Amino acid sequence: MGEPPPTGQERWCQKMVNGEPVKEGPFEIYRSEGTLMMKGEYRNGKQDGEWTMWYENGQKASIDHYKDGVQDGQHIGWYNNGKISAMGQYKDGKREGVWKRWDAQGFRNWEETYKDDKQVS
């Protein structure tokens, strides 16, 4: 298992499956100066549930959702100034449906529609 900062940069839990260590439960990554960079959960060695990333200034960078190790669900991204940058859905690891994007001042720039990770409009 990883050590908490300042001696380590990753922290996680694990369990043994067939004699091999498998990540299970909370997972965190810290920058060298000790600030949190990423946080999420593992289930049976695969990313699961909500995963959050932060910029160095402490502002959220993104929130993504995983199911059985694959992106599945809403994605929200922000610029380091706190303004939203993108919002959309993943299904089985592929962009699906309407994705909205904004510029760094917070003005919506465009919308794109995806089907199986291919832009259709």
What is the SS3 string spanning 18-30?
Answer: CCEEEEEEEEEEE
DSSP string computed for the chain? -PPPTTT-SEEEEEEEETTEEEEEEEEEEE-TTS-EEEEEEEETTEEEEEEEEE-TTS-EEEEEEEETTEE-EEEEEE-TTS-EEEEEEEETTEEEEEEEEE-TTS-EEEEEEEETTEE--
Cβ atoms of 47 and 53 within 8 Å: the answer is no
Q: Report the CATH number of the 10-119 domain.
A: 3.90.930.1
Per-residue pLDDT of the chain (121 residues; tens, 9 = 90+): 555 554 558 888 999 999 999 999 999 999 988 899 999 999 999 999 999 999 999 999 999 999 999 999 999 999 999 999 999 999 999 999 999 999 999 888 899 999 999 999 9
Domain range summary for the chain, segments of one domain joined by +: 10-119
The whole-model pTM stands at 0.89
